[in-house]
């Protein structure tokens, strides 16, 4: 696929005008998504055509116990301007944060979209769902989060949990969990596609939606519901600090020599060795190289894994899932291009002197022993031959 193959395609020309970005930028993004998802050759063209010609899927986006960080992350991507692309790829028919409407108008728009697109709309859930005391700790439009989720999920073509709170309970579910917060999948009683992260990478969400738009189904997921294209490998496998881990070079404190040199953050509690995500591969925020937590010097907290982020102390060592560091570790500070110190020279001289003294004494003793042996032999010879 290349730009020229779509040069006279009216649908692509219309898309270029609608999105306000060049065909080249759009096609490059489709190619990147296809490569990220491991799709076969030609999938990028199918994606581009689907976005250009198919009816935008209706999306109902619910907010429950969360900080809206997932939405904020989505709105701040700029390669290309993702919020514009998302709003043109999908028909966002209900989203409390982005809606101009409020109150009864907003709820009427949600129900109208659900009725008009029954069995065809995508339901996106952001935030955990409180279940204690029949869910009274979160209500929208007079409905509890439980009631609203089940109502919207009943006629959805697919349900996607976005963010760690919706995927596995996240921060709201940490002990003592006073509201009984649970994931969307737990409330619905089934495994649903999850895009975990705090916040998740918006490109993982976009890729999942475009896959659905192109092929009529969501991408393959693992046993926890996470798309395999984004969550099948450990962060540790693609981390730019991995070489330091293998060599046994670790930062031991924030700001120490090892930390300033970019050494591995494992001993500062990095959860990369037990966390599945593609953060080091696709980065965050479109601000350039190393634009992800570990790249900027902070340990991974394992936000895409249940039972790690918000459950395991940040400083606690990760469980090593695949590889282990070497048994012997070099020093954090390696002297380079310097001669031996005065103390080292004194010590070396002392050792050399002691060795020389010991050698002389051994030689002296050895000589005595030889002479003694010769003397004894001569004495014994005289005793045998007194004449």
Is residue 176 assigned to a domain?
yes
Q: Specify whether 156 is located in the same domain as 72.
A: yes
Q: 45 CB contacts (<8 Å, ≥6 apart)?
A: 1, 5, 30
- Point out which residues pair with 81 in neighbouring strands: 78
- 193 and 326 both lie in a single domain: no
Structure tokens at 344: 């080292």
Highest mean pLDDT among 98-107, 166-175, 276-285: 166-175
In 124-183, where does DSSP find H-type helix? 145-154, 164-168
Whether 188 maps to a domain, the answer reads: yes
Q: What is the mean pLDDT of the chain?
A: 80
The answer to whether 211 and 219 have CB atoms below 8 angstroms apart is yes
Q: Which residues of 169-196 are buried (b: 16+ CB within 10 A; e: fewer)?
A: bbbbbeeeeebbbbbbbbbbeeebbbbb
Any idea what the CATH number is for the domain that residue 210 is in?
3.40.50.700
Q: Are residues 306 and 214 in the same domain?
A: no
Query: How far apart, in whole angstroms, are the C-alpha atoms of residue 27 and residue 19?
Result: 12
Whether residue 347 is contained in a domain is answered as no
Asked whether residue 272 falls in the same domain as residue 130, the answer is no
What pLDDT digit, counting tens, does each position of 134-181 carry?
Answer: 999 999 989 999 999 999 999 999 999 999 999 999 999 999 999 999
Residue 218 maps to a domain: yes
Name which of 255, 198, 217 is nearest 73 in CA terms: 198
Q: Is 299 helix (H, G, I), strand (E, B) or coil?
A: coil
Same domain, 14 and 82: no
Residue 362 lies in a domain: no
Contact between residue 181 and residue 173 where contact means Cβ atoms under 8 Å apart: yes
Q: Which residues contact 144 (CB under 8 A, 6 or more apart)?
A: 134, 135, 136, 138
Locus of tokens 């050399």: 352
Question: Does pLDDT of 331 surpass 90?
Answer: no
Q: What is the pLDDT of residues 349-367, one digit of tens each?
A: 555 555 555 444 444 443 3
Closest by CA position to 331, among listed 260, 258, 261: 258
Give the 3-state DSSP-derived string for 177-225, with helices as H, strands as E and coil as C. Answer: CCCCEECHHHHHCCCCCEECCCCCCHHHHHHHHHHHHHHCCCCCECCCC
Kind and range of the H or E element at 171? none
Q: How far, rounded to the nearest angstrom, does the alpha carbon of residue 329 sit from its chain's CA centroid?
A: 26
Residue where a domain stops, chosen among 171, 202, 229: 229
Cα 86 from Cα 294, distance rounded (Å): 28
**Is the residue at 214 inside a domain?**
yes
161 contacts 184 by C-beta, under 8 angstroms: yes
Structure token digits, residue 168: 């596995």
Number of H helices, E strands in the chain: 16, 9
Q: Based on the fold, state whether residues 194 and 111 are members of the same structural domain.
A: yes
- What is the phi/psi pair of residue 143, to 5°? -100, 145
Does 276 lie in the same domain as 140?
no
| Confidence bin at 373 (pLDDT 50/70/90) | very low
Instruction: Give the residue from 89, 1, 88 showing the smallest Cα distance to 43.
Output: 1
- Looking at 333, 350, 377, which one is the last position of a domain? 333
Token pair belonging to 348: 């070396």
Regarding whether 277 and 225 lie in a shared domain, the answer is no
Q: State phi, psi for 169 to the nearest 5 degrees.
A: 105, -35
CB 163 within 8 A of CB 170: yes
State how far Cα 238 lies from the chain centre: 10
CATH number of residue 290's parent domain: 4.10.480.10
CB count in 10 Å sphere of residue 98: 13
How far apart CA 287 and CA 240 sit, in angstroms, is 17
Q: Give the per-residue pLDDT at 227.
A: 94
* 213 and 97 both lie in a single domain: yes
Q: Which of the four pLDDT bands, split at 50, 70 and 90, describes residue 48?
A: confident
**What's the pLDDT score for residue 338?**
55
φ/ψ (deg, to 5) at 263: -70, 170
Residue 5 has pLDDT above 80, yes or no: no
Phi, psi values for residue 49, rounded to 5°? -65, -40
Indicate if 107 and 224 belong to the same structural domain: yes
Residue 2: predicted pLDDT: 47
pLDDT in tens, 50-99: 766 667 788 899 999 999 999 888 777 655 455 565 666 777 889 888 88
Domain boundary among 229, 259, 276: 229
Looking only at the bridges linking them, the beta strands covering 129-130 and 181-182 are antiparallel
Q: How many domains does the chain have?
A: 3
340 part of a folded domain: no
pTM given for the model: 0.73
Q: What is the pLDDT of residues 224-253, one digit of tens each?
A: 999 999 999 999 999 999 999 999 899 999
Residues sharing a CB contact under 8 Å with residue 19, sequence separation 6 or more, in sequence order = 26, 80, 84, 85, 88
Whether 70 and 217 map to the same domain: the answer is yes
Euclidean distance between CA atoms 203 and 36, whole angstroms:
10
In a domain, 2, yes or no: no
Could you list the residue range(s) of the whole structural domain that residue 32 is in? 9-50
pLDDT of residue 117: 93
| CA 367/CA 359 separation, integer angstroms | 12
Asked if residue 299 and residue 252 are part of one domain, the reply reads yes
């Amino acid at each position: 696929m290349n730009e020229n193959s779509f040069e006279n395609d009216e649908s692509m020309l219309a898309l270029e005008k609608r999105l306000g970005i060049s065909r080249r930028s759009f096609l490059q993004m489709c190619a990147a998504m296809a490569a990220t998802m491991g799709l076969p050759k030609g999938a990028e063209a199918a994606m581009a055509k689907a976005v250009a010609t198919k009816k935008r899927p209706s999306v109902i986006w619910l907010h429950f116990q969360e900080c809206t960080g997932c939405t904020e992350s989505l709105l701040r991507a700029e390669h290309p301007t993702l919020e514009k692309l998302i709003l043109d790829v999908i028909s966002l028919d209900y989203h409390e944060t982005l809606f101009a409407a409020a109150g009864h108008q907003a709820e009427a728009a949600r129900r109208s979209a659900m009725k008009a697109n029954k069995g065809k709309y995508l339901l996106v859930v952001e935030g955990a769902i409180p279940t204690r005391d029949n869910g009274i700790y979160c209500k929208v439009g007079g409905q509890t989060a439980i009631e609203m989720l089940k109502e919207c999920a009943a006629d959805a073509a697919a349900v996607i949990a976005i963010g760690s709170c919706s995927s596995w309970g996240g921060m709201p579910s940490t002990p003592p969990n006073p509201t009984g917060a649970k994931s969307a999948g737990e409330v619905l009683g089934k495994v649903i596609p999850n895009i975990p992260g705090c916040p998740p990478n918006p490109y993982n969400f976009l890729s999942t939606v475009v896959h659905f738009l192109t092929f009529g189904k969501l991408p393959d997921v693992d046993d926890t519901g996470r798309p395999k294209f984004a969550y099948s490998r450990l962060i540790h496998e693609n981390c730019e600090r991995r070489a330091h881990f293998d060599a046994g070079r670790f930062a031991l404190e924030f700001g120490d020599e090892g930390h300033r040199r970019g050494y591995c953050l494992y001993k500062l509690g990095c959860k990369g060795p037990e966390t599945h995500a593609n953060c080091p591969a696709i980065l965050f925020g479109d601000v350039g190289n190393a634009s992800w937590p570990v790249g900027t010097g902070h340990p991974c907290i394992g936000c895409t894994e249940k039972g790690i982020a918000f459950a395991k102390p940040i400083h606690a060592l990760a469980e090593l899932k695949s590889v282990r560091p070497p048994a012997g570790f070099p020093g954090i500070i390696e002297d380079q291009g310097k001669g031996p110190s005065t103390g080292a020279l004194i010590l070396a001289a002392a050792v050399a002197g002691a060795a020389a003294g010991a050698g002389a004494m051994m030689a002296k003793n050895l000589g005595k022993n030889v002479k003694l042996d010769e003397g004894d032999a001569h004495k014994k010879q005289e005793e045998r031959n007194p004449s």
